[in-house]
Structure 1
């Protein structure tokens, strides 16, 4: 198994994307630690993993709170012996649909501040433990978006937040590479399966996302999990400071 003997923290592990990554990691031998602000969805994912014979722990952690993140990372490292993979897929707290000229500063900056603060805190906590072992993988979710899409929609500060995280990813990769730590972004053009069915206009959103791709399909939750496994495994040991593009051609490198 690709992730055997690996310990992975997944922030936002109770969500659809976080859950998909957690299940894929567990199937590939990792011990997963699911972190989030609400226990029930974390326990649901952990229960699925345990029922399939995997190992999963849960903890209430606010990824925007420095003490909460650092304390949890210290506890995981002490309990498991290492932190080998850190994945941050918490919600971006974005406000869309309003032109920038009509937005409040708080609404525009919300996804920027959320993304930058949470990724900084979780990456820093992991790096402090990974440096001693001279190995580890830090993954974020997002990536630079399609410029054409940015012209079609009022995305608020979401794209600005994504770009800020990409700058952080490049800097972290530069600083941590000498310690054997890899830093990667998992880039999708949108995952319709992650959108609840009851969301108004979901079918239209899915059709539009598919229409932007070259392959006539978008990434599924299974795809995201599989790519996340690859990125965290030694099969990807030559990859750092990069975004793995799984947009099905919606974004061209």
Structure 2
């Protein structure tokens, strides 16, 4: 299998994107450690993975807590013997729909601070155990932000957060590459499946995301999981410092 004997942590593993990645990793043979703040929802994903024949562990971890992140990575290595992939897709606490000039500074900075802090902490903890083995993947979710969205909808600090994470990805890739560690983000252009059914204007948003693509078929959660599995595999050993574009042409490189 593509990820046989590999070990991965998925921060935000109970969410729609994190769950999709965790399921794909387990399906391809990886031992998955689901990390998040709510045990019950993490357990649901772990039970589903186990029911399909995979292996998943559950750990309650606040990815914004420096000590908790460091200690968790140590436990993962003690439990599974290694760490091959660290995936961070936790919620970034963004506030949208309010014009920038009407927002509080706390709401505007919330996604930026949350994303940068959590992704720095999880990447640093992973790198410290990956460097001695001279291999590993640090994977984020986001990619280049389409600022034309702001003409139609107020996104708050979300776009700044995306750009900040991309800068972090480049810096980490440059520093960790000589140690055999790859750093990648996935860029989807939007996932209709993640939009709640009760979200006002859901149909219009799904149509907008679909119309942006060339194929008329936006990426699905299953697509995200499979590409994430490829990124963590030895087949992607030359892919680092890059954003993998799975936007179906919604964004051109």
What's the TM-score, normalizing by structure 2?
Answer: 0.98
Q: CA deviation at 1:195?
A: 2.0
SS state at 1:24 partner: helix
8 Å contact 2:147–2:159 — kept in the other structure? no
Q: How does 1:22-171 map to 2 (within 5 A)?
A: 22-171=22-171
**Which residue does 1:7 correspond to in 2?**
7
**Which residue does 1:20 correspond to in 2?**
20
Q: CA deviation at 1:152?
A: 2.4
8 Å contact 2:3–2:30 — kept in the other structure? yes
Q: CA deviation at 1:103?
A: 0.8
In 2: Cα distance, 1:145 partner to 1:207 partner:
19
* Per-residue CA distance 1:142-168 (angstroms, 9 max, x = gap): 111223223322110000001000000
* Per-residue CA distance 1:80-120 (angstroms, 9 max, x = gap): 11110000000111011111111110010000001100100
**Which residue does 2:218 correspond to in 1?**
218
Q: CA deviation at 1:199?
A: 2.2
In 1: Cα distance, 2:90 partner to 2:165 partner:
13
In 2: Cα distance, 1:201 partner to 1:58 partner:
35
8 Å contact 1:186–1:243 — kept in the other structure? yes
Segments of 5+ residues of structure 2 without an aligned counterpart are: none
8 Å contact 1:146–1:250 — kept in the other structure? no
In 1: Cα distance, 2:145 partner to 2:215 partner:
17
What's the TM-score, normalizing by structure 1?
Answer: 0.98
Q: How does 1:198-237 map to 2 (within 5 A)?
A: 198-237=198-237
Q: How many residues align?
A: 253
For the aligned residues, what is the CA RMSD? 0.8
**Which residue does 2:176 correspond to in 1?**
176
